[in-house]
Amino acid sequence: MPGILYQWPLWVVLSLFIVTLVGFSELALALVQRRRSRMGTQEDHAGEFVAVMVHSMFVFYGLIAALIAVNVYETYSDVYRTVSREAAAISALYRDSAGYPEPTRSKVQSSIRDYIQQIIHEAWPQQQRGQIPTGGVALVTRIEEHLFAFEPATEGQKIIHTETLRSFNEMAVARRLRVDANREHLPGMMWAVLIFGAFLCLFGGCLFHVRNQGFQAFLLGLLGVLIAVVLFMTFVWDRPYLGEAGIDAGTYELVYEQLMRPEIP
């Protein structure tokens, strides 16, 4: 799906989906009604055959659309949990570092504050534009250097150092997963199947012979709206960081505000 659509308001995208599919269904119905006599859908039990075939199309498309939508939402939820996991690891790392003696404590905590600020003000805007952030690598390396340079002198410091390194490793793994999630999206072939199948199902619905043509047009419009909503939900969840419904940096901002912001005298 074109990335430019994620820059539009969600109501505009939803309206575009609905207008496109409903408009296609009504146009296709008008064309089929004009050529119905030539297609022979009223002769030799053709109507029964059409009903069986179109019903099969609906079933197969419904299964495909449902499976893809569920998979996309699960991916979106996994990315959200990864974001929360990294924020929690940063919080734990900052608290653990409070047990270090000076000057190691100040160096580590200052580097952690710089890192979370980089996520909020630099990395996240890049992710929302579909770019892969790289600026945090140097800051993570700086934290690592401060931790590795420390030599515990007591048993208590050894315990604190071990826990801090565990939190650091957890943060580093979560960061890698969060950055890699920028590549998460449905392949173009999947979107082609979803969109082509939607048009195919709507066209198949036009092949039924209904005496009340206005009622048939109304039902096809409802079907078009339903399919549009399903495609819209898949679109919203497909790119976890993009668009109005994309995951924001609120979790990191909360950690910074509650734990790291210096008190103003």
**What would the mean pLDDT of 156-175 be, rounded to a whole number?**
93
Q: Which residue has the higher pLDDT, 36 or 206?
A: 206
Which pLDDT value is given to residue 262?
A: 65
**What would the mean pLDDT of 183-212 be, rounded to a whole number?**
89
Give the pLDDT confidence of 13-31 residue by residue, as tens digits.
999 999 999 999 999 988 8
Considering the domain boundaries, does residue 219 fall inside one? no
3-state secondary structure string, the chain?
CCHHHHHCCHHHHHHHHHHHHHHHHHHHHHHHHHCHHHHCCCCCCHHHHHHHHHHHHHHHHHHHHHHHHHHHHHHHHHHHHHHHHHHHHHHHHHHHHCCCCCCHHHHHHHHHHHHHHHHHHHHHHHHHCCCCCCCHHHHHHHHHHHHHCCCCCCHHHHHHHHHHHHHHHHHHHHHHHHHHHHHCCCCHHHHHHHHHHHHHHHHHHHCCCCCCHHHHHHHHHHHHHHHHHHHHHHHHHHCCCCCCCCCCCHHHHHHHHHHHCCCCC
User: 131: domain range?
Assistant: 3-213+225-260
Q: What is the mean pLDDT of the chain?
A: 89
Tell me how far apart the alpha carbons of residues 248 and 251 are, in angstroms, rounded to a whole number.
8
Q: What is the largest CA-CA distance in the chain?
A: 93
Q: Cα 183 to chain center, whole Å?
A: 10
Considering the domain boundaries, does residue 80 fall inside one? yes
Query: Is residue 265's pLDDT more than 50?
Result: no
Which pLDDT value is given to residue 4?
A: 85
pTM: 0.84
Closest of 186, 169, 201 to residue 240, by C-alpha: 186
Amino acid at 183: R
Give the pLDDT confidence of 45-92 residue by residue, as tens digits.
566 777 778 888 889 999 999 999 999 999 999 999 999 999 999 999
Closest of 145, 91, 136, 92 to residue 118, by C-alpha: 136
Considering the domain boundaries, does residue 218 fall inside one? no
> Which of 74-88, 149-163, 251-265 has the least mean pLDDT?
251-265
Query: Residue 44's pLDDT band (boundaries 50, 70, 90)?
Result: very low
Considering the domain boundaries, does residue 152 fall inside one? yes
Tell me how far apart the alpha carbons of residues 261 and 211 are, in angstroms, rounded to a whole number.
70
Considering the domain boundaries, does residue 190 fall inside one? yes
Considering the domain boundaries, does residue 172 fall inside one? yes
> Which of 14-18, 33-37, 174-178, 184-188 has the least mean pLDDT?
33-37
Percentage of residues of the chain with pLDDT beyond 90: 66
CA R_g for the chain? 27
Query: Is residue 38's pLDDT more than 70?
Result: no
Domain tally, the chain: 1
Which pLDDT value is given to residue 47?
A: 65
> Which of 96-105, 122-131, 205-214, 236-245 has the least mean pLDDT?
205-214
CA atoms within 13 A on the CB side of 43: 5
Residues 6+ apart with CB under 8 A from 119: 136, 249, 252
Considering the domain boundaries, does residue 265 fall inside one? no
Considering the domain boundaries, does residue 78 fall inside one? yes
Give the pLDDT confidence of 203-245 residue by residue, as tens digits.
988 887 777 878 888 999 999 999 999 999 999 999 999 988 8
Query: Is residue 41's pLDDT more than 50?
Result: no
**What would the mean pLDDT of 165-172 be, rounded to a whole number?**
95
